[in-house]
Amino acid sequence: MSENVVVDDERIIEGLSEGQEWAVEALVDKYYGRIYNLAMSILRNESDAEEITQDVFMTVYEKIGSFKGDSALYSWMYRICVNACLMRLRSRKRTDAVSIEEFMPVFTEEGKHASQVQDWSPEVERRVLNKELGEVLRKFIGELPDKYRVVLVLSDVEGLSNEETAHILGLSIPAVKSRLHRARLYLRGRLEKYLTEGKLDS
Amino acid sequence: MNCRELINLLADYLDGSMDPELREELERHISMCEPCMNFLRTYDRTRIITRQVRIEEIPEEFRSRLKSFLLKKIREGRGAVDRYTSPQKGEGEE
Ligand SMILES: [Zn+2]
C-alpha cells in the first residue's frame, strides 16, 4: 500500500510499549488507510473521520499495555475505531435515519414473493466502473441505522468474517448474521428502486 | 421450504455455513423458482459491489499530518524529558 517497509505487528507492539517513535510511525504507515477508510464508511464525513483516526492511534499508543495478544492488532484497532465512531454518532443528531422496513421483501401468506422479482444484476455489472453507482451506494449505506451500518461495513465493506465482526462489536454471531442480512436486504431494495425506477430518494 | 424461508437463509447459503442437506433443498427450490433465482442474483451482486465502496482515495498529506500530530502529542506528554530516537536506528539490537 505504501512505499514504506511494513513492520511486523509484534515489533510495532514492542516498540510502542517502550514509547519508541519509530513504532508510532510504523503503526501509522501500516494501518492509517484501513482505519481512515473504516471511519469514513461509518461516519461519511472527512473531518470527523480524520479526527477519529487521530484518536484511534493516540488510544493505541496510550493503551498498548492493555492489549492482549488474543486477537490480531488490527482487530483491536477496529474495535477502538468502531467505538469511537459510535460515540461520535450518538453525539450527532441524525435527521436522516430511515426505517429499513420499507425495503424489506414482501411475501404472501403462503410465503411466496408478493411481487415480481427482476434480475437487474447485469445492470449493476454494466455500471460497475461508473462513479455514480459508487456514490449512490455510499449514500444508501449512510442511510442505514447505525447498528446495521457498522455490521455491514465490517463484514461486506471490510470483508471480515462473521466471527471477527462479532468479536469487534461484542455481539453474538447470530446477531451479526441477522443484522447483516437485513442491511443487505435494505441495500438490495434501495438499489432495485434506483435501477428500475431511477429513484434516489426513499 | 417456501420463498420467505429461502430468502432468510441467503446469507448462510453464500457464506458457505449451511449444512449440505439444507443447501440441496435450497438449490432445488431455486432451480424451480424464478423469483428466488432473481432475488439470489441481485442479493449476491449487492453484496459484491458493497466491497467496492472501500476503494476511496485517502489524502496522502493526511498520513504526514497524522504522524506529526501523534509525535507532537507524545513529546508533549513526556514533558521535558528527551527520549527521541532516530526513526531508522532506534530499533537496534541490545
Ligand atoms: Zn421461491
Average confidence score pLDDT of chain A: 90
| Mean pLDDT value across residues A35-57 | 92
Higher pLDDT, A63 or A129: A63
Contact A121 B45 (CB under 8 A): yes
Instruction: Give DSSP secondary structure letters for B6-73.
Output: HHHTHHHHHHT-S-HHHHHHHHHHHHH-HHHHHHHHHHHHHHHHHGGGG--PPPHHHHHHHHHHHHHH
d(CA A24, CA A60): 9
Report the amino acid identity of residue B54: R
Q: Which residues of A138-162 are buried (b: 16+ CB within 10 A; e: fewer)?
A: bebbbbbbeebbbbbbbbbbbebeb
Residue B57 to residues A39, A62, A166, A199, B17, Cα–Cα distance (Å): 13, 28, 28, 27, 34
Q: What is the mean pLDDT of residues A96-124?
A: 90
Q: How high is the pLDDT of residue A10?
A: 93
Cα–Cα distance measured from residue B23 to residue A16, given in angstroms and rounded to the nearest whole number: 48
In angstroms, rounded to a whole number, what is the distance separating the alpha carbons of residues B50 and A142?
Answer: 12
Set of chain A residues whose Cβ sits within 8 Å of the Cβ of B30 = none
Judge whether residue A192 has pLDDT over 90. yes
Cell matching residue A127: 455500471
Kindly state whether A69 is in contact with chain B, defined as any CB-CB distance less than 8 angstroms.
Answer: no
CA of B38 to the centre of ligand 1 (A): 10
Of residues A133, A138, A181, the one with CA closest to residue A43: A138
**CA-CA distance, B94 to B88, in Å (whole number)?**
15
Mean pLDDT of A53-72: 91
The predicted-structure confidence for A108-121, as pLDDT tens digits, reads as follows 999 999 999 999 99
Note the pLDDT tens digit of each residue in B4-35: 999 999 999 998 889 999 999 999 999 999 99
Q: What is the pLDDT of residue A197?
A: 84
C-alpha distance from A134 to closest chain B C-alpha (Å): 6
B16 touches chain A (CB under 8 A): no
As a whole number, mean pLDDT of residues B60-68 equals 89
Closest CA to A196 of A124, A95, A108, A99: A124
B32 C-alpha vs ligand 1 centroid, how far in Å? Answer: 8
Query: Cβ A157–B5 below 8 Å, yes or no?
Result: no
For residue A45, how far is the Cα from the chain centroid?
13
Tell me the average pLDDT across A64-93.
89
**Choice between B75 and B94, residue whose per-residue pLDDT is larger:** B75
What per-residue confidence (pLDDT) applies to B55? 61
Is the pLDDT at A99 greater than 60, yes or no? yes
Q: What is the pLDDT of residue A95?
A: 61
Q: ∠ CA B42-B31-A128 to the nearest 5 degrees?
A: 20
User: Which residues in chain B are contacts of A32 at CB distance < 8 A?
Assistant: 58, 62-63, 66
Share of chain A above pLDDT 70, in %: 94
Q: Tell the residue number behind the cell numbers 473504516, with chain if given.
A: A38
Task: Please name the residue of chain A whose CA is at the shortest distance from the CA of residue B43.
Answer: A188
Residue of A nearest to B71 (CA): A21
> Quick one: cell of A55?
484518536
Q: What domains sit in chain A, N to C, each tagged with a CATH number? A: 9-92 (1.10.1740.10), 101-197 (1.10.10.10)
- C-alpha B13 to ligand 1 mean position (Å): 14
Instruction: Give Cβ neighbours of residue A93 (< 8 Å, ≥ 6 apart).
Output: none
Give chain A positions within 8 Å (CB) of B4.
Answer: 107, 111-112
Would the CB atoms of B39 and A192 count as touching at under 8 Å? Answer: no
At residue B93, does pLDDT exceed 60?
Answer: no
Interface probe with B: pick from A113, A116, A161, A193, most Cβ of B within 10 Å:
A113
CB-nearest to A57 from B11, B39, B66 is: B66
